[in-house]
Structure 1
Amino acid sequence: MRVELPENDQSGGVLPLEDAAATALALTELVEVRRDTPTRWRILPRRNRIGAVRVGELEVVVRPKAAFASVMFMLGYARDPGYLPWEVDGFVEDDLWSAVGETLARLAERGLMQGVLQGYVTRDDALGVLRGRVRAADQAARRPGALLPLEVTYDEYEPDIAENRILRAALNRMMLVPRLPRRVHSRLGHLSGRLDGVSPLVPGAPLPAWRRTRMNLRYQPALQLAEVVLRSVGLSSTVGGMPVASFVVDMATVFEDFATTALRESLFRLSPRGRTVAQHQAWADEGERVRIKPDIVHFAGRQPRIVFDAKYKLGSEDGGYPTSDVYQMHAYCTALGLRRGYLVYAGSRAEGAGASTHRILNTEIDVVQWPLDVRAVPAELLDQIDVLAIDAGQYP
């Protein structure tokens, strides 16, 4: 059985569920689960959460405003501005599991096209010959008076590096998702096989650290998504043994992170000498007791020039937005000494809604409410960000 609900739906749906399945659904934190009758449960999407959960034969999908492919793009781009729009182009079906699996397979294939990445791995071992350096303290503690074997530490050039461990773990995690399309499952399995011999990650342990280098450049888009998969795709089972798979995303966080990264990149192209700061901390009062933290502030030298705040909200059908947001941006502009600030929204319910500017009475401050159409394909979404950055850059 498949149930689809729109994001932030207030009515939800009523389903006949066993208690174990209802508990498993609630634990994924995608939906709230409330008993409606002794055998039926009402499910309601949690605020700004989207994703999919499979519990046994039941699948619950909470659909975002954007297509799932666009959500995958925003997730990837927020972590890596080199993540390209065409990485998610061409999906035949708008299904979350297919979008995640297909994107991971595409990026992994691209990363492995030139072969499996190798690197130096530090090994501790007991050997009959000297290799690397002797760990004198361990030699004395474990083999007092013995000449061989030697407790040594050496570097081995091999594929068992953090990048391959993360990538293979993500491929294997996706393969365990119930009822994943066969073609996607097959591609993931083939890619995992190419990493045969790479050691598995320890369940529950932090992901191994890796850093961006010229050597792993081709792996980087795949690694960004692999980390998302390992942190977001949950696999478990109910008390009765039903398999549970979940992929849950907080769209408010995704939208804010995407808008911050995309604006930073766009503003840098317009003003390479400027710098864009996320979550900039400042004070609203002279006594420095009231802290403010706008999402994005662009500086020229030490002087703030532009302020943005990302809001994962839809405007009303008449094109309006909450007035409290305007008060907030007015405070930001006043504290930062700016005459213009931008509230960036995830769309509007009004047909053809565009930017609207509000001049605050008895001041020279303009607050601009700027909707982005998150339903647009990724390339068009980035174009919208560019238009916003150009508009903001016109004002001193």
Structure 2
Amino acid sequence: MTTLVLVEHAAPRSVPLDDVAGRALARSGLVEASPDLETSGRWRVRAKGVVGVATVPVPDGPAITVRVQPKLPVARLLFLLGYSRSPKGWRDDQVDVAEEQELLPAFARLFTRQAEHTLRQGLLKGYVAIEETALVMRGRLRFAEQVRRHHGRLVPAEIDHDEYTTDIAENRLLRSACETLLRLPVPTDVRGRLLRLRADLIDVSPISRGAVLPTWRPSRLNARYHHVLRLADLVLRNASVEHRDGDVTVHGFTFDMARVFEDFLTVALREVLADHTGHCVLQARHHLDEDRLIRMIPDFVHYADDGTPLAVVDAKYKAEKPQGFPDADLYQMLAYCTALNLPEGHLVYAQGNAPHTRHRIRNAGVVIHQHALDLDQAPGDLLASVAHLARRLIGK
């Protein structure tokens, strides 16, 4: 198996690959890949905005494992992921992975440690609704099913009843996250700990691949499960088999950094503005034209109590080039401001040389602000930067 280790958005690397392997890598959508025009038998490969580890199959050849390291320290990335899922429940002291350079080993250690702590008091139990065909009456008779299946006979009986069991949604999610991580190239010591966790959960049924994840509701009874369940959700939603362009099937554990940044920024802004009047909507749906044919979905809109838009924000995870940020972002924000009847709009970038620039649009009376948010800060400092941005949105 060929292994490529890349860094997110770094310069292209020339690597030895035959044409079949290079084309499979290019079709996977994980990275940018093209033949090296200067040297035969080599391809130039560049990581985009997807980080993590994934395996790309190659027809009639060894698979290619692609490991993309994030530009951010792993601990910072894990904070962004955790905060966007649970802004009030996340604590930075849960992330102690400074020694890890790659995302998957760090995430596997974090999940394993939290799961071990959670299950130290034993498995949570709860009531589960069971529907079955039985020879003995138990619980409630399902009359419609009894008539449909057995034409009025009393035995066997179609019944439903509540069973007090460990086979509940919370434990099933943990079991399935264990199974998922065990299928990935995690460190040997973590694999051993995951196997022990799976043994503790052996009586719990895993979730079938591709099935809808069961829902759980935070409560006093499952409070000790809250943190690990959010980690399990990240595992199950980001470690999957994906069918990409060109029918190349990719299996791995990856995160789209643009989505990570967008989720963090919009949730953090919503938390800051929760104490102010009005309300916030993430991924608000609007239309640019009067016929409502041209759909727009700005990342974040702050509304007054009567529904009047007060501020609009769009998150942009991209590197600033020497000539500045792309003009297309400004055109997009101008359209948002026009449709929402706002005098100002805000573009927030994940990095940049200047902390803030502004553009007054000719003949439109619209000012577009471009902010750069440094993600490589301590969590408290990063949240303070977001709070400062939120105050600018509401003019305070």
* TM-score, scaled to structure 2: 0.83
- Aligned counterpart in structure 2 of residue 314 of structure 1, from 294, 315, 319: 319
Contact 1:66 1:376 in 2 (8 A): no
Comparing 373-382 with 295-304, greater Cα deviation is found at: 373-382
Separation in structure 1 between the aligned mates of residue 24 and residue 229 of structure 2, nearest angstrom: 29
Q: Tell whether the 8 Å contact from 2:286 to 2:297 is kept in structure 1 after alignment.
A: yes
Alignment-derived partner of residue 59 in structure 2: none
1:235 and 1:282 mapped to 2: Cα distance?
33
- 1:196 equivalent to 2:202? Answer yes
Question: For residues 87 and 176 of structure 1, what CA distance do their matches in structure 2 show?
Answer: 25
Please tell me whether the aligned partners of residues 5 and 45 of structure 1 are also in contact (alpha carbons under 8 angstroms). yes
CA-CA distance at 1:170 after TM superposition: 0.7
Partner of 2:389: 388
Distance across 1 between alignment mates of 2:29 and 2:327 = 30
Shift in Å, 1:94: 1.6
Moved more, 304-313 or 329-338: 329-338
- Contact 2:286/2:295 (CA < 8 Å) preserved in 1? yes
Using the size of structure 1 for normalisation, the TM-score is 0.83
Structure 1 residues 361 and 25: alpha-carbon distance in aligned structure 2, compared to 1, 3 A threshold? closer
- Distance verdict in 2 for CA 1:32–1:321, change over 3 Å: closer
Q: Which residues of 2 match residues 137-286 of structure 1 at below 5 A? A: 137-140=144-147, 147-178=154-185, 180-234=186-240, 246-269=252-275, 271=276, 273-286=277-290
1:305 partner letter: L
Query: 1:14 corresponds to which residue?
Result: 15
Q: 1:168 to 1:360 in 2, by over 3 A?
A: same
SS at match of 1:108: helix
Provide the alpha-carbon RMSD of the alignment. 3.2
Q: Distance in 2 between matches of 1:144 and 1:176?
A: 47
Give the number of equivalent residue pairs: 380
Post-superposition Cα deviations, 1:191-224, rounded to whole Å, max 9, x if no partner, equal: 2222220012223323233344443343233223
Deviation at 1:144, TM superposition (A): 6.2
Matching of residues 242-391 of structure 1 within 5 Å: 246-269=252-275, 271=276, 273-286=277-290, 288-301=292-305, 302-317=307-322, 320-348=324-352, 350=353, 353-361=354-362, 364-391=365-392
Q: Which residue of 2 aligns with 1:48?
A: 49
Q: Between the two proteins, what is the percent identity of the paired residues?
A: 41
| C-alpha spacing 1:235/1:334, structure 2 compared with 1 (3 Å) | closer
Shift of 1:173: 1.4
Name which of structure 1's ranges 302-311 and 245-254 shifts more when overlaid on structure 2: 245-254
For the structure 1 residues 325 and 145, does the alpha-carbon distance in structure 2 shift closer, same or farther, using more than 3 Å as the test?
Answer: closer
Gaps of 5+ in 1: 237-243
Q: For the residues of structure 1 that align with 2:133 and 2:222, how far apart are their CA atoms?
A: 31
Q: Kindly indicate whether the alpha-carbon contact (under 8 Å) linking 1:31 and 1:43 is maintained by their aligned counterparts in 2.
A: no
Q: Distance in 2 between matches of 1:186 and 1:154?
A: 38
Distance 1:28 1:328, change over 3 A: closer
- Deviation string 1:290-335 (CA, Å, 9 cap, x unpaired) is 44332111012122111111111222347x3223322332332233
Q: For residues 330 and 130 of structure 1, what CA distance do their matches in structure 2 show? A: 67
Contact 1:267 1:389 in 2 (8 A): yes
The alignment partner of 2:163 has SS state of strand
Q: Look up the SS of the partner of 1:200 in the other structure.
A: coil
Q: For residues 340 and 161 of structure 1, do their structure 2 counterparts lie closer, same or farther at Cα, with a shift above 3 Å needed?
A: same
Partner of 1:241: none
Q: Deviations over 1:332-384 (max 9, x none)?
A: 22332323221100101x3xx31222333456533211111122344433222
**C-alpha contact (below 8 Å) 2:283/2:300 kept by paired residues:** yes
